[in-house]
Amino acid sequence: MPTPELDVLGIGNALVDVLTHEDDDFIDKMKLNRGAMTLIDDEFAESLYDAMGSGIEISGGSAANTMVGIASMGGRAGYIGKVRNDQLGTVFRHDLRATGVDFASAPSDNGPRTGRCLIVVTPDAQRTMNTYLGASSLLGAEDVDETLVASAAVVYLEGYLFDLPPAQAAYWKASRVAHDANRQVALTLSDAFCVERHFDAWRELVRDQVDVLFANESEICALYRCDFDDALQKVRQEVKVAALTRSEHGSVLVAGDEVHVVAAQGVDRVVDTTGAGDLYAAGFLYGFTHGYDLATCGRLGSLGAAEIISHIGARPEVRLSDLAAPLLRK
Amino acid sequence: MPTPELDVLGIGNALVDVLTHEDDDFIDKMKLNRGAMTLIDDEFAESLYDAMGSGIEISGGSAANTMVGIASMGGRAGYIGKVRNDQLGTVFRHDLRATGVDFASAPSDNGPRTGRCLIVVTPDAQRTMNTYLGASSLLGAEDVDETLVASAAVVYLEGYLFDLPPAQAAYWKASRVAHDANRQVALTLSDAFCVERHFDAWRELVRDQVDVLFANESEICALYRCDFDDALQKVRQEVKVAALTRSEHGSVLVAGDEVHVVAAQGVDRVVDTTGAGDLYAAGFLYGFTHGYDLATCGRLGSLGAAEIISHIGARPEVRLSDLAAPLLRK
């Protein structure tokens, strides 16, 4: 096979984040699922937006955030996701390309608007995400460009997108194309509710196709329906590498017999946890596709997560390659 | 006259800010007017946006920022400005209303898109603003609701909007309606280039209609074509109150024989100076419409400016009334 042109190609929901600060009462009053990602329809999106305070708009989307992080680390990243040709779609495309991510998916000329994620940040810096998928829900197997997938060392699949059957077909196609080209498949479970909704489909995809798995504690427990330590024993038999994140307790990495426990990187003040997992994956995958050992990959993940939780929004505010330089002197 | 229902009604350019960080080289390469506000056409807006890095979108517009600041102080504020019924127009309307500002102007159903201000923040925290006026340029005398103007203790006019003849007519109408109702007229000069472009029109408006004038050093010097101290002597003969801001040197307030020199409020780190003048005006006008003495008005202005320059964007991130509480104990 030729040398890959991209380090990682991400596939996910193309969303613009709308972030607002609210008290805990707001979560109760609007009956939101605290700390989770909930899919909402256009009507509830309108009424939630009406009730929300003043917001700021920052391009988001889990896998898109990860690709931006990889580019910020100095890696070569590409992205597949659907926006519409409206103002927020233009914002999303601009921001991805401006950070150096290769984004070739054509915007749709009709159908639902560009998707939005209404994010309520509570005083504890926890984010509660409410996603109107809009145009991003249209992604299907036909959007998976085989040449592009085969050109990336790793194809990275965002779990959030797995809620819809056309996207599930897209993931199977992308996985098969990647493996036929001797590439690797990475997946993030994204959300425990999402795992529970599509339990059998997830189990099958992980077992059959996934080489590198990202999950937090509740997600990995949901996937194996057991406690964390039991899940750890199970996942190491099913995937080549698992990176299990545990918020402020850092992460546990397993690859067959190899195990590493990596500390979280401290921050002065946690402002907004939006994107913590996305940027962990970015740091990890940059290391993974550049030949670093597993423990260094984990430390790069911690570094990415620490940068992103220290400010509002899920896109890095400084060049991650500058922050990472001390870790990358081989 | 009845007691005013609003403390301040602002009229200005309704814009969504798109903020990005760039090095000084970018300013040179794109031939931008460093530190100033420059009007740009749709075509240059496109090419500048293409060249800009990843951005964040926050509702802006000078007078709109001031009205949000007054509402955040606990005052009653209204706003007149034009957006289109597009996605950014919806964002602008939402953010203004969510902060408690009364915004009744109907969006236009056709014509140019909602205006945008492409703001390049350099490492010294200086902002260079490039404004595509879009729908906001359509504002004219017909948009000045006489009942609304008469219902506010002060009508506040944003200098930036004075670049276009229909807006100049709107300002004359608003001023006359306000004075007929025994209300006061406040004006901010906004930008020295803007003053130079419409010198005679500005001189006439200030002399004939303005009660409270806001200007920074370069703006007041441009208005009287002399140095700062000479301008100070001239302005005190033409307006009832002038608040002359001097960045980190604080402000000078003159009202006839009364003069105050007020210090700037220090901040740990200046992040982005966008909106400093707007929030100075907000603090000042809140004090002014609530019967505080001139020196306290100036200190409230310094407080508003200090909050806004400590973070990205020109909308307050905390409730200004909380910050101001120690100053407001009469």
* pLDDT over 90, % of chain B: 88
Q: What's the pLDDT at A3?
A: 83
pTM: 0.91
- Judge whether residue B131 has pLDDT over 70: yes
Each residue's pLDDT tens digit, B3-33: 889 999 999 999 999 999 999 999 999 999 9
For an interface test with A, give the residue of B19, B49, B87, B88 to mutate (most A CBs within 10 A). Answer: B87
Mean pLDDT by 10 residues, chain A (330 residues): 89 96 95 92 95 94 97 97 96 96 92 96 92 94 96 97 91 98 97 92 96 97 96 96 95 95 92 93 98 97 96 91 88
B55–A99 CB contact, under 8 Å: no
How far apart, in whole angstroms, are the C-alpha atoms of residue A308 and residue A275?
Answer: 7
Check if A261 contacts B (Cβ < 8 Å).
no
Q: What's the pLDDT at A1?
A: 62
Q: What confidence tier does B188 reach under pLDDT thresholds 50, 70, 90?
A: very high
Nearest-neighbour CA in chain A from B118: distance (Å): 12
Nearest-neighbour CA in chain B from A155: distance (Å): 24
Each residue's pLDDT tens digit, B66-113: 999 999 999 999 999 999 999 999 999 999 999 999 998 899 999 999
Each residue's pLDDT tens digit, B50-66: 999 999 999 999 999 99
CATH code assigned to A6-14+61-112+134-328 = 3.40.1190.20
Mean pLDDT of B260-269: 93
Nearest-neighbour CA in chain B from A188: distance (Å): 25
Q: Helix, strand or coil for residue A161? A: helix
Question: For chain A, which residues make up each domain, given as ranges?
Answer: 6-14+61-112+134-328
Residue in chain B lying closest to A97 (CA): B54
* Pair A42, A74: CB distance under 8 Å: no
- Residue of A116, A134, A115, A126 whose CA lies nearest to A27: A126
**CA distance from start to end of chain B:** 27
Average confidence score pLDDT of chain B: 95
DSSP lists the bridge partners of residue A258 as A255
Q: Helix, strand or coil for residue A239? A: coil
The domain defined by B6-14+62-111+135-328 carries CATH number 2.40.100.10 = no
Q: What's the pLDDT at B330?
A: 60
Residues of B in contact with A99 (CB under 8 A): 53-54
Check if A58 contacts B (Cβ < 8 Å).
yes
A86–B87 CB contact, under 8 Å: yes
Check if B50 contacts A (Cβ < 8 Å).
yes
Mean pLDDT of B190-215: 95
Mean pLDDT of B255-283: 93
How far apart, in whole angstroms, are the C-alpha atoms of residue B248 and residue B145?
Answer: 38
How far apart, in whole angstroms, are the C-alpha atoms of residue A148 and residue A152?
Answer: 7
How far apart, in whole angstroms, are the C-alpha atoms of residue A80 and residue A14?
Answer: 8
Q: What confidence tier does B195 reach under pLDDT thresholds 50, 70, 90?
A: very high
Q: CA dihedral defined by A166, A169, A174, A179, rounded to 10 degrees?
A: 170
- Judge whether residue B134 has pLDDT over 70: yes
B53–A88 CB contact, under 8 Å: no
